[in-house]
A and B are shown apart, each in its own frame.
Chain A
Amino acid sequence: MNTSQQRNLIQKAGFGMLSVVALLTVLPIVLVVGYIFYQGLPAISFEFLTGLPREGMRAGGILPAIVGTIYLTIGTAIFSVPLGVAAAIYLSEYAQDNLLTRLIRLAIINLAGIPSVVYGLFGLGLFVLFLNFGTSLLAGSLTLSIMTLPVIISTAEEALRAVPQSFRVVSISLGATRWQTIRRIVLPESLPGIITGVILGLERAAGETAPILFTVAAFFLPRLPDSPFDASMALPYHLFVISTQVPGMPLKLQYGTALVLLCFVLGMNLLATTIRSRARAKRQW
């Protein structure tokens, strides 16, 4: 065997190994999703998705949990998106590189590393007790917002920074102000990236249990919340409850609930991916 054949062989072996590793990382995801679909699909019915829980949650539907999670996601978006995007615009477009902005960035990075149960405890202390919002959608949305903010700020800032500097220089040279440049050029260009970051942040919020544990979640509340000050059921917490706290729970209801949560989160993910790939296809510079 000559050296070039040898090299070829090594290359082939290397590629082979890499594809095996790549497959191995995909495998658990496929298994989890597949297993939950397999176990949960039989539970899905019109009543399951649109009905109230009955017989101590052992029968009926999970509508209050679905609606609760949707409300929480919307509430989180209302607080975290404007604040997060505004902060990102400040950091990327206006802030100079000085001690203050370095401290802000450090704070954001550290905020992202705090365990979610700590956010839950903080939300309990600040929103539920001190501000007296009670166990409510409002308190839960605010808690989830604080948890989501670092994700939104960092991804939005990254998206803003990805806009070529030359666009800003040209816009300014044409007599635009800084704000006009941001509004007419920088924001539209970075919007797909910002939206992707927002969705990924909200997706994480929608799936979290710990932050809502002390701030919103009702163990069993067979009606829909009708004000921001109401407590509510929510999918992740409901899943926790029916998996560990209720004896004699039919297994398929647990997997059915998990499936609904999974679809909710995967749906958001799909939306983010679609927006990103559409924007990439449209971009021409």
Chain B
Amino acid sequence: MVKISIEHFHLTYSDGAESLRDITIDIPARAISVFLGPAGGGKSSLLRALNRLNDLADVRSVSGQIRLFGDNGQTIDILDPQTDVVALRRLVSMVFARPVTLPLSIRGNLTYGLEVAGMRQNNLLGEAVERSLQQAALWEEVKDRLDEPAAALSGGQQQRLCLARSLAMQPEVILLDEPTSGLDPISTSKVEASLQEIKNNYTIVLVPHSVQQAARVADHAAFFLQGELIEAAPGPNLFINPTDKRTQDYVEGRFG
């Protein structure tokens, strides 16, 4: 089942360079899709387009169509200026490369998205806190200190808190842009494990921080080079059996 369909998507920043050219790809539901490729390929730009965070950046123009097929049967035209971006961002949540915890308590970070959406019932908020921390494999470490400042956590814990913060809102899609790039191997494997855990219920789009990570977690992989989608394939195919020479060079570590 397709969760997000991207068709003929172009994106140009205000410096005039076309950072993404004619991207067409389907993102499968309830699976981990990875976007990989060398620096400057446009992976982050595409990710930010999916929940319109590009609105905050210096984008000159976008064209094409990106549609999200909601669990309730509704189709959202993501690029449509009329689309309610606040509602969209509740469905499509983002975890950034650098863990940025809000200057609130651990609990406050987790309930933030729900509170700004208008949820006030303490029991529901409390359930969301515990559920999301469990899913992000952080519950045991922080359950006794939920009211301490989130900034007091270690970097790895903060990144899992950011993942939990997205999960607390029960979005349908979670975007992760190199979420483990600043983490040690143990924290990295914890994050990867929780992604495996949650992928049965969420659509996950991940920009991995290495080809190895991509190969470990990908159910579906796409290779981007200088603004173009070179090749996309399900499962491990892209790594075992790439059809394009450039993909092969990249996954075998010959450039990038």
- B103, A189: Cβ atoms closer than 8 Å: yes
**A-B interface contact total, Cβ < 8 Å:** 63
Q: A169-B53, A284-B149, A285-B151 in contact; A176/B112 too (CB < 8 A)?
A: yes
B103 A188 Cβ-Cβ under 8 A: yes
Q: Is there an interface contact between B86 and A170, defined as CB atoms closer than 8 Å? A: no
Assess whether A175 is in contact with B152, with CB atoms less than 8 Å apart: no
Q: Mark A150-183, 1 if CB is under 8 A from B, else 0.
A: 0000000000000010110111111111001000
Query: Are B102 and A175 in contact, with the CB atoms below 8 A?
Result: no
A18 at the interface (CB under 8 A from B): no
- Report the separation of the CA atoms of residues A167 and B103 in the bound assembly, to the nearest whole angstrom: 8
Q: Is the CB of A176 within 8 A of B116?
A: yes
- CB atoms of A180 and B96 under 8 A apart: no
Interface: A78 (CB within 8 A): no
* B53/A171 in contact, CB under 8 A: no
Residue from A175, A189, A283, A284 within 8 A of B116 (CB atoms): A175
| Cβ–Cβ contact A174 & B169, under 8 A | yes
| B107 close to A (CB within 8 Å) | no
* A102 on the B face (CB < 8 A): no
**Given contacts A174-B165, A175-B169, A167 and B102 within 8 Å (CB-CB):** yes
A175 touches B53 (CB 8 A): no
A175 and B117 form a contact (CB under 8 A) = yes
Which of B89, B100, B151 touches A175 (beta carbons < 8 Å)?
B89
The minimal Cβ–Cβ distance linking B248 to chain A, given in whole angstroms, is 35
Write the nearest CB–CB distance from A282 to chain B, whole angstroms.
Answer: 9
Q: Is A185 an interface residue (CB 8 A)?
A: yes
Q: Which of B51, B94, B112 has the most CB of A within 10 A?
A: B112
- Give chain B residues whose Cβ lies under 8 Å from the Cβ of A180: 116
Cβ B94 vs Cβ A184 within 8 A: no
Q: How distant is the Cα of A211 from the Cα of B86 in the complex, in angstroms?
A: 48
B93 CB within 8 Å of chain A? yes
B98 on interface, CB distance cutoff 8 Å: yes
| Contact in complex: B116, A173 (CB < 8 Å) | no
Q: How far is the CB of B101 from chain A (nearest CB, A)?
A: 8
B246 within 8 A of A: no
Kindly state whether residue B179 has any CB partner on chain A within 8 Å: no
> Does B199 lie at the interface of the complex (its beta carbon under 8 Å from any beta carbon of A)?
no
Contact assessment for B86 and A177 in the assembled complex, using a CB-CB cutoff below 8 Å? yes
Q: How far is the CA of A152 from the CA of B168 in the complex (A)?
A: 39
Min Cβ gap A191→B in Å is: 11
Contacts of B116 in A (CB 8 A): 171, 174-177, 180, 184
The complex places the Cα of A175 from the Cα of B101 at a distance, in Å, of 15
B186 touches A (CB below 8 Å): no
Given the contacts A284-B151, A284-B152, A174 and B93 also touching, CB distance less than 8 Å: yes
Whether the Cβ atoms of B102 and A173 lie closer than 8 Å is: no
**B56 and A172 form a contact (CB under 8 A):** yes
Alpha-carbon gap, A167 to B165, bound state (A): 14
CB distance from B168 to the nearest CB of A (A): 9
CB-based contact A173/B94 at 8 Å: yes
Give the complex CA separation of A169 and B93 in angstroms: 12
Complex partner residue of A172 from B87, B89, B103, CB under 8 angstroms = B89
Q: Is B113 at the interface (CB under 8 A from chain A)? A: yes
Contacts of A164 in B (CB 8 A): 100
Q: Beyond A166-B100, A185-B103, is A174–B56 a contact (Cβ under 8 Å)? A: no
Q: Which residues on B sit within 8 Å (CB–CB) of A166?
A: 96, 98, 100
Instruction: Enumerate chain A residues within 8 angstroms of B21, measured Cβ to Cβ.
Output: none
Q: Is B90 an interface residue (CB 8 A)?
A: yes
How far is A189 from B151 in the complex, measured between Cα atoms in Å? Answer: 14
B residues near A283, Cβ cutoff 8 Å? 103
Taking each of B93, B96, B102, B117, which has the highest tally of chain A beta carbons within 10 Å of its own beta carbon? Answer: B102
The residue on B at minimum CB distance from A163 is B103
Question: What sequence of 0s and 1s flags, for each residue 141-174 of chain B, a beta carbon within 8 Å of any chain A beta carbon?
Answer: 0000000010110000000000001100100000
Q: Please, which residues of chain B bring their CB within 8 A of the CB of A169?
A: 53, 56, 96, 100
**Closest chain B residue to A186 by CB distance?**
B103
Digitize A266-285: 1 where CB-to-B-CB distance is under 8 Å, 0 elsewhere.
Answer: 00000000000000000111
In the docked arrangement, what's the CA distance between A185 and B115, Å?
13
Additional A-B contacts beyond A171-B102, A174-B93, A188-B103 (6; CB < 8 A): A173-B93, A175-B89, A175-B116, A176-B113, A284-B152, A285-B103
The 8 A-B pairs at the shortest CB distance, nearest first, are namely A174-B113, A284-B151, A176-B116, A175-B90, A175-B89, A166-B100, A173-B94, A180-B116
Please give the residue numbers on chain B whose beta carbons come within 8 Å of chain A beta carbons, in ascending order: 51, 53, 56, 86-87, 89-90, 93-94, 96, 98, 100-103, 112-113, 116-117, 149, 151-152, 165-166, 169
What are some 23 contacts across the A-B interface (CB < 8 A)? Answer: A166-B100, A167-B100, A167-B102, A169-B96, A170-B102, A171-B102, A171-B116, A173-B51, A173-B96, A174-B112, A174-B113, A174-B166, A174-B169, A175-B86, A175-B87, A175-B116, A176-B116, A177-B86, A177-B116, A188-B103, A284-B149, A285-B101, A285-B103
